[in-house]
């Protein structure tokens, strides 16, 4: 492998450091993604995840999640070789998987007898609180 190709491979794998800011202008995002601004504007038409808001002067204002989305899209297209349609579908599938994972209960299921015992304990506490003079 040539030295130039090694440098190109290394440059691809380095994740940019995103400054700790609330909003980014399109030029800043383009610099972080190492892309021309017209590519970002095109991606806005192709990827629903990339929706920057507009300032009162009409400038695109990207939030951090928009920057993360742009970097993710760049990685899918330029490093992993996805087509635009394939990247769009991949992101959609990831979002569905994340939503399915979030709807799962965050705690283990309990046996009915254990739940009955907890419910009875709560009723006893409620009874004690209700019996107290105000």
Parse the chain into domains and list their residue ranges. 3-100
pLDDT at 104: 58
Q: Which residues of the chain have pLDDT under 70?
A: 1-13, 103-110, 134
pLDDT at 116: 85
Distance CA 20, CA 13 (A): 21
Q: The whole model's pTM is what?
A: 0.65
pLDDT at 7: 46
The 10 Å CB-count burial string (b at 16+, else e) for 12-37 is eeeeeeeeeeebbebeebbebbebee
Domain 3-100 annotated CATH 1.10.275.10:
no
């Amino acid at each position: 492998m040539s030295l130039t190709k090694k440098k190109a491979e290394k440059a691809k794998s380095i994740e940019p450091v995103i400054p700790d800011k609330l909003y980014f202008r399109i030029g800043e995002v383009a610099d972080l993604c190492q892309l021309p601004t017209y590519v970002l504007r095109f991606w806005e038409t192709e990827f629903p995840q990339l929706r920057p808001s507009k300032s009162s002067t009409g400038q695109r204002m990207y939030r951090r999640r928009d920057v993360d989305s742009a970097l993710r899209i760049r990685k899918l297209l330029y490093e992993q070789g996805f087509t635009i349609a394939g990247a769009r579908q991949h992101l959609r599938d990831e979002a569905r998987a994340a939503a399915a994972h979030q709807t799962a209960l965050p705690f283990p299921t309990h046996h009915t007898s254990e739940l009955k015992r907890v419910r009875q304990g709560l009723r006893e506490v409620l009874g004690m609180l209700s019996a107290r003079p105000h």
